[in-house]
Amino acid sequence: MREGVTCERYSVKGDPDLLWNTDTSALDLTGGSLSCSAYKTYCPSKGIDCLEDHRMVPSTADPSQNVEIALADLAGFEDSCLECNKNGYVHHSIIFNAFIFCTFFNEYTALNLFDEWNFIPAVIANPVFIAVSIFTFGAQIFLIELGGEFVKTSPLTIEQWLITIALGAIGLPIGVLMRFIPVKEDPNSFFDNSRIFKTPHSAVESPPPMTSFAYSKVEGGDV
């Protein structure tokens, strides 16, 4: 699989007179036997993965014999013959999916504080958390399989889905094992933003009450 953005579907744009020698993979306008139309023959409406697949094609020197080549190995075939109609984001989608499932499974082990390693009772007792998990899982499937050009994702195969989910699930045993590390935690050291807005009563000084004498001076304009 190529890294970065690839092509998921091509169309043929090249000159039909362009010919390649299947024995040497070189462009051979006079003695070649394979043209740009080979894409329609071997990879109709498919992308770069099909071009890189090796297949048996007739030999230029002896058409009764077959040689094993990939269309991507033919010198300049992709650039001269094909135009990309649809970008492919499989590589980015795999990274994105693995990252999301890392955070997804981390939410489970993060339900418990201190050294409580069994997160299952906390999950069962929290129907809101279960609903959020179901929504997150469904939303991720939607973004990967149907997001397309809008979110720059491409559909993944079952194998790719299982691998990325398994990578994310590694966080479960790691989160459990971390609970057995003997670290003393002081709840008073936890961040509590409510403390920012708490002001001791002794620190707030009320203004002195206005006396009747001061009030009369203000009313009379004598200040």
DSSP assignment of 204-222 equals -PPPPPPPHHHHHHHHTT-
pLDDT of 204 over the 80 cut: no
- Cα distances from 96 to residues 6, 77, 120, 154, 212, in angstroms, run 16, 32, 27, 11, 72
Per-residue b or e along 9-48, where b marks 16 or more CB atoms closer than 10 Å to that residue's CB: bbeeebeeebbbbbbebeebeeebbbbbebbeebbeeebb
Tell me, yes or no, whether 94 and 148 share the same domain: yes
Q: What pLDDT, on a 0 to 100 scale, did the predictor assign at position 1?
A: 59
pLDDT of 52 over the 80 cut: yes
Rounded to an integer, the average pLDDT of 58-86 is 90
Is 223 inside any structural domain?
no
pLDDT of 19 over the 60 cut: yes
Q: What pLDDT, on a 0 to 100 scale, did the predictor assign at position 14?
A: 78
60 and 28 Cβ atoms separated by less than 8 Å = yes
Tell me, yes or no, whether 74 and 106 share the same domain: no
Rounded to an integer, the average pLDDT of 56-62 is 92
Q: What pLDDT, on a 0 to 100 scale, did the predictor assign at position 201?
A: 55
Tell me, yes or no, whether 67 and 117 share the same domain: no
pLDDT of 223 over the 60 cut: no
Number of structural domains in the chain: 2
Rounded to an integer, the average pLDDT of 5-34 is 88
Asked which of 87, 117, 138 is the last residue of a domain, the reply is 87
Q: What pLDDT, on a 0 to 100 scale, did the predictor assign at position 144?
A: 94
Predicted confidence band of residue 206 (pLDDT cuts 50, 70, 90) = low
Tell me, yes or no, whether 62 and 119 share the same domain: no
CA distance 119 to 108: 6
83 and 9 Cβ atoms separated by less than 8 Å = no
CA distance 145 to 130: 23
Tell me, yes or no, whether 98 and 170 share the same domain: yes
CA distance 90 to 2: 9
The DSSP letter of residue 201 is G
Tell me, yes or no, whether 106 and 174 share the same domain: yes
Tell me, yes or no, whether 107 and 169 share the same domain: yes
Tell me, yes or no, whether 53 and 104 share the same domain: no
Tell me, yes or no, whether 106 and 74 share the same domain: no
pTM above 0.85, yes or no: no
Q: Dump pLDDT digits (tens) for 82-109.
A: 888 888 888 889 999 999 999 999 999 8
Q: What angle do CA 71, 20, 5 make, to 5 degrees?
A: 30
Is 77 inside any structural domain?
yes
Considering only residues 219 and 158, tell me which one the structure prediction assigns the higher pLDDT. Answer: 158
Q: Which of 46-55, 107-116, 166-175 has the highest mean pLDDT?
A: 166-175
Tell me, yes or no, whether 105 and 80 share the same domain: no
Domain that holds residue 125: 90-178
The phi and psi torsions of 180 (rounded to 5 degrees) equal -95, 0
CA distance 156 to 134: 20
Is 13 inside any structural domain?
yes
Q: Dump pLDDT digits (tens) for 145-187.
A: 999 888 889 899 999 999 999 999 999 999 889 888 877 766 6
